[in-house]
Structure 1
Amino acid sequence: MAVVPLTEILSAAFDERYGVPAINVVNDLTLEAVLAAAVEKSSPLIVQTSVKTVRTIGSDVLYAMWTSMTAGIEVPVTLHLDHCPEREVITECLRQGWNSVLFDASRLPVAENMRQTVEVVAEARGFGAAVEGEIESITGVEDGIGSDSAAEQQDLAVALDFLRTTRVDVFAPAIGNAHGSYKKAPVLDAQRVSDLVAAYPVPIALHGGSGLSDEQFRDLISRGCAKVNISTALKETFMKSNLAFLTAAAERQKWDPPSLFRSVREDVIDLAGSLMTLFGSAGRAG
């Protein structure tokens, strides 16, 4: 088990119709906590890093944290670079050892997006890594990438041409989902997932997962959303947990950083574990 290719994790999830949490981590504590949750729940896990996190921590330090924390781990895990429009960052992370990348060229014309995605797929294959692709921006800004403008859907024929030409391993369609916190309950085009999978059986990545209902998650996973992205929920849990602990510490005038770290770690483990149970990946690592 241990660190495995993204395709190995998603192949089983797609075939058996369960979802694997793809959780964006922000530092060493959140990385260790989501890995601990995966071990506790006997679940596969996709750890995601944003371009912002890569730049903040440094790809070398971040990858050293990854290799240290996954040494001897007994569940299948993989390291994925999320929403990256910059080819040089993709190359940097592939060289360090990331197992998978999302080349986000969704703001380019489809033809140019496709041309460059073909190049990224070829580059990634040289490192034994996988590629996630998309032709439509997911509404919302995340870590400085994206737009608040509503995403425009391409015709099914355009999406299929992209898939057949690029041969990406995972596809992220726009289905009415959005990054960040939903201001109202989203209306999702779940049928689009079914149509894509029926025409071209590739694992689908569900972006903007934070805030969807349990029923929406289960329905979309049953249609082929094998990779379920979670970023906002992790950030909110991490920061609110810190805030609650520090507020109580201020009231008591007792300052003990290790206690803070333990408390936040447990909250992050609880979040990740609950997602593994909900998505059906818990117990699938055996």
Structure 2
Amino acid sequence: MPVTSLNDIVRPAFEERYGVPAINIVNDLTLEGVLEGAVEAKSPLIVQTSVKTVRSVGAPVLAAMWRAMTAGIEVPVALHLDHCPDRAVVTECLRNGWNSVLFDASALPVQENLALTIEVVREAREYGAQVEGEIEAITGIEDGHGSDEEAARESLEVSLDFIDRTGVDVFAPSIGNAHGAYKEAPVLDYDRVSQLVSARDIPIALHGGSGLSSEQFRELISRGAAKVNISTALKETFMKSSLEHLAQAERIDRWDPPTLFDDVSQAVRTLVIDLAKEFGSAGRGA
């Protein structure tokens, strides 16, 4: 099954009320691991890259890795640029084969955000790509982007006007969720998801998924959260599995990089399989 569009992945999830893991990778090893996990789980998958990752690895290198690792893949996959406020990076990624972008102008006044997002949607359509939009900053700092200060939420009417006028394919509301590790259990505004979905037939992106409970995931997915973002959990899995392997290598004084790669890749695969089962996407990509 070839690489497919974001719409072809999230639309069935939205209609059938399951969630698709949207996982931020950081290098070739994590990319390989999440893809292998999705194939093993027979789950659709959205691979995400932060602006920080694009800049550190390079868009052409990431694109070459993506093409090589998804050649002949057996499940639907899409490549998404996450939280990007930089139009130049958006353009670079679209030119290199990303088929979905989140243009994040949430730090700007709504009307300025709206005007810029309209331009991004127009540009993305030239590449056959989709756009995720947001008008409120999600609390927390991720890959150097964002703020720990909770942003004010806009009214439902403002959100619907943004959706209508921009033509975004997926919408990411602020509902009490946050990037990074939660310091305390979040109080989520489930009704806001239901209100948006009831008023507009649009899939919802859930940010700050790492650390939510199974009950919270189920409730939000049942209300229309079809794209579930996972970043912190991937980073913790990658680094903690590396740390555990290196501690063991030190104990036995055996330094064999391929075994490190195997252990880390297996940990990442297991994370993806578990998420696919939890979100209900396992078996949906067969």
TM-score (norm 1): 0.99
The match for 1:246 is: 246
Question: Aligned equivalents of 1:252 and 1:151: distance in 2?
Answer: 50
Do structure 1's residue 192 and structure 2's residue 192 form an aligned pair? Answer: yes
3-state SS, counterpart of residue 185 of structure 2:
coil
Question: Aligned equivalents of 2:183 and 2:127: distance in 1?
Answer: 40
Deviations 1:104-162 (A, max 9, x none): 00000000000000000000000000000000000000001101101211000000000
3-state SS, counterpart of residue 137 of structure 1:
coil
The residue identity in structure 1 corresponding to 2:100 is S
The match for 1:231 is: 231
The match for 1:90 is: 90
3-state SS, counterpart of residue 48 of structure 1:
strand
Deviations 1:226-251 (A, max 9, x none): 00000000000100000011011111
The match for 1:144 is: 144
The residue identity in structure 1 corresponding to 2:142 is E
Matched ranges for 1:31-180 at <5 A: 31-180=31-180
Question: Aligned equivalents of 2:266 and 2:90: distance in 1?
Answer: 32
Question: Aligned equivalents of 1:181 and 1:143: distance in 2?
Answer: 13
Question: Aligned equivalents of 2:134 and 2:56: distance in 1?
Answer: 25
The residue identity in structure 1 corresponding to 2:180 is G
The residue identity in structure 1 corresponding to 2:197 is V
The residue identity in structure 2 corresponding to 1:125 is R
Question: Aligned equivalents of 1:72 and 1:199: distance in 2?
Answer: 39
Matched ranges for 1:190-229 at <5 A: 190-229=190-229
Question: Aligned equivalents of 1:184 and 1:82: distance in 2?
Answer: 25
Question: Aligned equivalents of 2:231 and 2:2: distance in 1?
Answer: 23
Question: Aligned equivalents of 2:236 and 2:223: distance in 1?
Answer: 28
- CA RMSD in angstroms comes to 0.5
The residue identity in structure 2 corresponding to 1:238 is F
The match for 2:7 is: 7
Question: Aligned equivalents of 2:270 and 2:31: distance in 1?
Answer: 14
Deviation at 1:169, TM superposition (A): 0.2
3-state SS, counterpart of residue 185 of structure 1:
coil
Question: Aligned equivalents of 2:116 and 2:247: distance in 1?
Answer: 49
Do structure 1's residue 23 and structure 2's residue 23 form an aligned pair? Answer: yes
3-state SS, counterpart of residue 65 of structure 1:
helix
3-state SS, counterpart of residue 258 of structure 1:
helix
The residue identity in structure 2 corresponding to 1:126 is E
What number of residue pairs does the alignment pair up? 286
Deviation at 1:2, TM superposition (A): 2.0
Structure 2 residue runs of 5 or longer lacking an equivalent are: none
Question: Aligned equivalents of 1:69 and 1:3: distance in 2?
Answer: 11
3-state SS, counterpart of residue 205 of structure 2:
strand
The residue identity in structure 2 corresponding to 1:21 is P
Question: Aligned equivalents of 1:259 and 1:151: distance in 2?
Answer: 44
Deviations 1:40-66 (A, max 9, x none): 011000000000000000000000000
Question: Aligned equivalents of 2:143 and 2:59: distance in 1?
Answer: 16
The residue identity in structure 1 corresponding to 2:126 is G
Question: Aligned equivalents of 1:10 and 1:151: distance in 2?
Answer: 27
The residue identity in structure 2 corresponding to 1:248 is Q
Question: Aligned equivalents of 1:2 and 1:231: distance in 2?
Answer: 24
Structure 1 residue runs of 5 or longer lacking an equivalent are: none
Do structure 1's residue 182 and structure 2's residue 182 form an aligned pair? Answer: yes
The residue identity in structure 2 corresponding to 1:268 is V
Deviation at 1:201, TM superposition (A): 1.3
Q: Kindly, what percent of the aligned residue pairs are identical?
A: 68
3-state SS, counterpart of residue 241 of structure 1:
helix
The match for 2:257 is: 257
